[in-house]
Amino acid sequence: MVPSMLQTLRIKNLAIVDNIRVEFRGGLNAITGETGAGKSILMGALALLLGERAGKEIIRAGEEQCGVEGTFVLKDPSHADAILQALGLPPCEDGRVIIRRIISQSGSARILVNDSPATLQALKRLGAVLVDLHGPHDHQSLLDREFQLAVLDSFGRLEKLRADYASAYSEWRALESRKSDLQRSDAGDVAAEVELLEYQAREIRDANLSENDESELQREHSIIANAKRIGELAGAARSALTEDDASAFNGVAAANRCLTELSQILPEAAEWKTEAESIASRIQDLSDSICRATSNAECDPARLQIVEDRLALIHKLKRKHGGSIKAVLERLVEIEMKLQSLRERDRILKEIDEKIRQAMSSLQSAGDKLSKSRQAAASSMASAITNELKDLGFPHGVFDVSLSAREPGPSGLDDIEFGFAPNRGEPMRPLRAIASSGEISRVMLAIKTVLAEHDRIPVLVFDEIDANVGGEMGIAIGKKLAALAERRQVLCITHLPQVAVYGQTHWVVTKEIKGGRTLSRINMIEGESRVEEIARMLGGRSLTSVALRHAQEMLARIGNE
């Protein structure tokens, strides 16, 4: 069965990459190349697949959009499937997760997971179980205490206990926040607020509003204000329809008399006569409707004043409490609820205090369980990391995990400090007191190696984990990466030939000028091409016989280990 791995990475129109496709292998994939060739673009593409934010400036000049696609093959997709299901995304098919990210010059962006649209947050959550990416400056995160706690919890597989604590902490904080809101004003302020809210509620209630009031009043206002004109127009219409000698009704009646006589001569005229009678009836009905609808239209100044006052009141309430009568009525409900809360403030505060006491008890219980498990995991993790550091140039180094109690915080009841004594006889010092980034990088590699035994992340990516170390330490790092790659797929960008020779697969990134444009390329190398790349890393651009021979010896030595 194919091991869990990043199988394919496709990049199109990203920075100086026009279109490349990389078919990665299992084990340790060493990635080398001259500075500026585009190695960092590979890491940037991977970061995009893991949910990193990006703007249109990453798009290759002259292109409308860029895209990245990654295909992950999982030996056991159950963990990823659980995440996908929780995110509402399709499960793995044949153990594959396909992620696509497209960014356009217009500013639009698309994320597809297994051909279904996804959010950036969903991508970050999924990416966290697929790839552990360690950038050139990420070793600084090792100095952050929240990160240190996360490392310990991952080692101890304490995710469930930490989630239980986080839930209890969230509930406790919400109750404390509610209590603080109720206590923010003194008794005098509360009384003043109650008085104001009672006035506002009374003002709205006295208005006795319904949602149709305004439209009905506006119609009535229009009728009263235009009563004279309504009467004139309605009268003229009725005259034209039924009341004048030359009215439409009389005209149709005359036509009907003619059609009566015509029907005796021409039988089909009977239908015309029937239709004329129907028209006459409809004309009469229309005239009667106009009369009924306009008979009450009279200019009543007193009623007009009442309507205008009522409309002014509605406008005032809308301006104070919302843009519509519906909003005013909703505001009344809010005010009444607020009044109830303020009137019962003391009783509610007592209830909240009791809930806070219960929440704190649950929080303390969850925190104690988490702390005890952390204490148990701390010594085991410290011992495991110390053991790994022996292979990384610290034969007498000692790693320590120290826990101390603290007030409840988002991550638990524990403060943490990673300590390190690099040499025999040296005192234990906080890791943050170590100035050498090379030492911290090796500690990070030791931690990643230990965590690989405990987590289920299939792909580990290191971007210059060997920065600021020499050739001898490069050999130790290369061996450690190779050992790590026995259990995980490892992608490692390196500038050290001592590390590169340990790669089961070796990729070289180059750049070329084509059509006046700079392009980045990546190719798998082996045989003589690999010897030449190792020699270049040893001696620079000029491939001397000494450098070539040294490269051959290094590769041969690794092959015999």
Q: What is the DSSP annotation of 202-234?
A: HHHHHHT--TTHHHHHHHHHHHHHTHHHHHHHH
Q: Residue 547 to residues 471, 525, 531, 550, 561: CA-CA distances in angstroms?
A: 15, 18, 9, 5, 21
- Give the model's pLDDT for residue 492: 93
More confident residue, 371 or 207: 371
What would the DSSP string read from start to end of 234-288? HHHHHIIIIISTT-HHHHHHHHHHHHHHHHHHSTTHHHHHHHHHHHHHHHHHHHH
Q: Could you give the CA distance from residue 89 to residue 115 in angstroms, rounded to a whole number? A: 9
Q: Residue 494 to residues 91, 467, 486, 488: CA-CA distances in angstroms?
A: 35, 8, 19, 18
Instruction: Tell me the pairing of strands 17-23 and 429-430.
Output: unpaired
Nearest alpha-carbon partner for 313 in 438, 455, 201, 208: 208
CATH number of 1-130+457-525: 3.40.50.300
> Taking the domains of the chain in order of start, what are their residue ranges?
1-130+457-525, 528-561
Q: Where are the alpha helices (DSSP H) in 467-521?
A: 471-484, 497-500
Q: Could you give the CA distance from residue 46 to residue 198 in angstroms, rounded to a whole number? A: 60
Q: Under the phi-then-psi rule, with left for phi > 0, alpha for psi from -120 to 50, and beta for the rest, what region is 412? A: left
* Mean pLDDT value of segment 276-301: 77
Output Rg (C-alpha) for the chain, integer angstroms: 41
Other CB atoms within 10 A of residue 335 CB: 21
Residue 398 — very low, low, confident or very high, per pLDDT cuts 50/70/90?
very high
* Mean pLDDT value of segment 122-142: 82
- Give the model's pLDDT for residue 215: 79
> How wide is the angle at C-alpha 143 spanned by C-alphas 142 and 149, nearest 5°?
70
Asked if pLDDT for residue 307 goes beyond 80, the answer is: no
Q: Could you give the CA distance from residue 213 to residue 239 in angstroms, rounded to a whole number? A: 35
pLDDT digits (tens, 9 = 90+) for 411-434: 999 999 999 998 888 889 988 887
Lowest mean pLDDT among 66-80, 151-165, 311-325: 311-325
* Mean pLDDT value of segment 458-475: 83
Residue 296 — very low, low, confident or very high, per pLDDT cuts 50/70/90?
low
Asked if pLDDT for residue 55 goes beyond 70, the answer is: yes
- Give the model's pLDDT for residue 100: 95
More confident residue, 212 or 37: 212
When the pLDDT of each residue in the chain is averaged and rounded to a whole number, the result is 86
Asked if pLDDT for residue 287 goes beyond 90, the answer is: no
Element housing 121 (H / E): helix 120-127
Q: Could you give the CA distance from residue 516 to residue 456 in angstroms, rounded to a whole number? A: 46
pLDDT digits (tens, 9 = 90+) for 434-443: 757 778 888 8
* Mean pLDDT value of segment 180-187: 70
Asked if pLDDT for residue 1 goes beyond 60, the answer is: no
Asked if pLDDT for residue 297 goes beyond 70, the answer is: no
Residue 560 — very low, low, confident or very high, per pLDDT cuts 50/70/90?
low
Asked if 343 and 194 count as a contact pair (C-beta separation under 8 A), the reply is yes
Asked if pLDDT for residue 64 goes beyond 60, the answer is: yes
Q: Could you give the CA distance from residue 142 to residue 441 in angstroms, rounded to a whole number? A: 9
- Give the model's pLDDT for residue 164: 95
* Mean pLDDT value of segment 342-346: 76
Q: Could you give the CA distance from residue 4 to residue 501 in angstroms, rounded to a whole number? A: 23
Burial of 530 (0-12, 13-18, 19+ CB in 10 A): buried
Asked if pLDDT for residue 246 goes beyond 60, the answer is: yes
502 contact partners, CB below 8 Å, separation of at least 6: 28, 30, 478, 479, 481, 482, 558
- Give the model's pLDDT for residue 193: 83
Angle, helices 437-452/471-484, rounded to nearest 10 degrees: 20
Residue 2 — very low, low, confident or very high, per pLDDT cuts 50/70/90?
low
Residue 384 — very low, low, confident or very high, per pLDDT cuts 50/70/90?
very high
- Give the model's pLDDT for residue 250: 81
- Give the model's pLDDT for residue 121: 92
Nearest alpha-carbon partner for 461 in 442, 471, 448: 448
Residue 24 — very low, low, confident or very high, per pLDDT cuts 50/70/90?
very high
Angle, helices 301-321/187-207, rounded to nearest 10 degrees: 140
More confident residue, 140 or 515: 515
In Å, how far from its chain's centre is CA 210? 42
Lowest mean pLDDT among 64-73, 303-312, 315-324: 303-312
Asked if 387 and 396 count as a contact pair (C-beta separation under 8 A), the reply is no
Nearest alpha-carbon partner for 133 in 54, 44, 67, 35: 44
Q: Residue 241 to residues 150, 230, 295, 344: CA-CA distances in angstroms?
A: 88, 16, 17, 69
